[in-house]
Chains A and B, each alone.
Chain A
């Protein structure tokens, strides 16, 4: 089945650091990738949608200068949390779909980000 690899799984770093998270589709071409944020016992909150070769579409309230998304190829998207602060600590999950728009999303394993 479709596999999405997300790296790293855990990040602990100091306030002010920038953190890059990678999301790769391993056995299919991802026409669209999504980035979510999830707080404990809450649902997935969509941050942005990215299509290969074009600028990401951010959801309302998500700072595009803080959360930089690059979708350089059909198999790779990256999320960079710039100048991270403790309030950015969260579980970040990427997902990808290939083919038609309403295909099931295949999720990466998530990245747990802790900013000290």
Chain B
């Protein structure tokens, strides 16, 4: 089966750094995606990890440890517009299984 866990909600302050964790137990693994979804909108792609380690893309970084079934998304220099839901998704054989998402609220 597929089981993906993320915290339900997080709150952080504008300008700060926040780390959103994702743990997974899945029957297969090809890679892990992170998506951002604003309320009422469709998800947008943020990052993709296939190998262990850190992938950096501007203010966003994502880390993967396949042996631990663990990933995190790191957001730096938080902005108000970063308030959104962040979805962790494990892909296997062309299909993605999504976590329930972490709702991040950025406060001034």
Contact = CB atoms under 8 A, between A and B. Distances in A.
**Chains A and B bind each other:** yes
B26 interface: no
B9 to A, nearest CB: 10
Contacts of B94: 32, 49, 97, 101-102
Nearest to A93: B42
Interface string A1-25: 0000010000000000000000000
Interface stretch (A62-70, A72-80, A106-114): A106-114
Given A43-B98, A43-B99, A43-B101, A102 B43 contact: no
A37 B40 CA distance: 13
Interface string B22-65: 00000000110100000011111100101000000000000000
Nearest to B93: A101
A110 B41 contact: yes
Contact of B98 (A44, A106, A108): A44
Interface string A25-37: 0000000101000
Interface in A23-60: 32, 34, 41-44, 46, 49
Contacts of A108: 42
A96 to B, nearest CB: 12
Interface in A80-115: 93, 95, 97, 101-102, 104-110, 112
B91 interface: yes
Closest 10 CB pairs of A and B: A101-B94, A107-B42, A104-B45, A43-B100, A44-B98, A43-B98, A102-B30, A110-B42, A102-B91, A102-B31
Interface of B: 30-31, 33, 40-45, 48, 50, 87, 91, 93-101, 103
Interface of A: 6, 32, 34, 41-44, 46, 49, 93, 95, 97, 101-102, 104-110, 112
8 contacts: A34-B95, A42-B100, A44-B43, A44-B98, A104-B48, A106-B45, A107-B42, A109-B41
